[in-house]
Structure 1
Amino acid sequence: MDETIRRRLRVAAYAVVVEDGNILLARFIGGDRPRWILPGGGLEHGEDPADAVLRELTEETGYTGRITRLLGVHSFHMPRRDLDGDIVDFHGLRVLYEVARTGGELRHETDNSTDRAEWFPLSEIHGLDLMDQVNVALGMWRDHWRDRTSMR
């Protein structure tokens, strides 16, 4: 049997928005079950990741924001089979930013891959069903703040 292998690269930008010990998350409904994710998503062709993260923040949460720093880039490779049995050689790049909220009002996205946005205490997110990039990004965010306080 001849297997078809398709390569797919997805570049996405995500926002870590933390205020007063709370983190802003969106509920992703595009997978096998609803899970919490950082506001963000895929870049459109030719779009700068910094523009994409702010566009996605507004689309998914209703908030506007300002990038305060680049946290890092996370690369992952995940070959898997699709519904037709073909192998999809998936490579994802996530550009992760710390973002400060500058305006807007919380609202839920409709007709897309997320259906709601909510603030959660950082101390309580361990009990949520999270997409893996939340933990990756929070690790980068915590490392930044740990480094800043150790320099004092």
Structure 2
Amino acid sequence: MRRKLRVAAYAVCVRDGQILLARSPGPDGTPEWVLPGGGTEHGEDPYDTVRREVAEETGYRIEVTGLLGIDSSRHVFRGGRLRRRTDHQGVRVLYEGTVTGGELRYEIGGSTDFAAWQDLDAVPGLTRIRLVDVALRLWRERPAPGHLPPGDRPLPR
């Protein structure tokens, strides 16, 4: 079985009762809302990753104002006709950020196609990835260890 580790960094930017989200095509093609952010490049610090990714996906420059925590997940994906099974672990570093410049725009030719401020109260009604819920819990509760207990994390959608 193939083993894969992906380290990524994401930003929780909240202002005036809204959160900055990006839209990405889901696994089945249905658009879903995600946090701006993405995978670290080899040798890149996650702090630099989150600033780069937010700029790429939204057009904004941000100041990282805090570390909210870490989310880790592990899934085994079945192999297709020519692929081996993959044991995939994702480690996601979640930062709090404040927009300091730039203008909202959409990413062209990337992993997202739209960015927008969404009302915090509307988030439960959005088609979104689980990480949005995890990040908002970390942002609201700010647990001392920066981690939600395994049995207390939102379930995958």
TM-score, normalised with respect to structure 1: 0.89
* Helix, strand or coil at the partner of 2:127: coil
Q: Decide which of 33, 41, 44 is 1:36's aligned counterpart.
A: 33
Which structure would you say has the larger Rg? 1
Cα distance in 1 for partners of 2:120, 2:80 equals 36
RMSD of aligned residue pairs (Cα, Å): 1.3
Q: Decide which of 53, 57, 82 is 1:56's aligned counterpart.
A: 53
CA contact (8 A) 1:30 1:113 kept: no
Shift of 1:83: 3.2
Cα distance in 2 for partners of 1:112, 1:40 equals 12
Cα distance in 1 for partners of 2:128, 2:136 equals 12
* Helix, strand or coil at the partner of 1:102: strand
Q: Which runs of 5+ in 1 are unaligned?
A: 146-152
Query: What amino acid does structure 1 have at the position aligned with 2:18?
Result: N
Equivalence for 1:134: 132
* Helix, strand or coil at the partner of 1:10: strand
Q: Does 1:90 find its partner at 2:88? A: yes
Q: Does 1:99 find its partner at 2:113? A: no
Equivalence for 2:5: 9
1:53/1:90 CA distance change after superposition, 3 Å:
same
Query: What amino acid does structure 2 have at the position aligned with 1:13?
Result: A
Shift of 1:34: 1.5
Identity fraction in percent? 54
Cα distance in 2 for partners of 1:72, 1:79 equals 24
User: Following TM superposition, where does structure 1 have runs of at least 4 consecutive aligned residues deviating by more than 6 angstroms?
Assistant: none
Q: Which runs of 5+ in 2 are unaligned?
A: 144-157
Deviates more, 1:56-65 or 1:72-81: 72-81
User: For each residue in 1:6-35, what CA deviation from the matched residue of structure 2 results, as whole angstroms up to 9, or x when unmatched?
Assistant: 111000000000000000000012622211
Cα distance in 2 for partners of 1:95, 1:13 equals 5
TM-score, normalised with respect to structure 2: 0.86
Kindly tell me the number of residue pairs found equivalent between the two proteins. Answer: 141
CA contact (8 A) 2:38 2:49 kept: yes
User: For each residue in 1:61-84, what CA deviation from the matched residue of structure 2 results, as whole angstroms up to 9, or x when unmatched?
Assistant: 000000010000111111111433
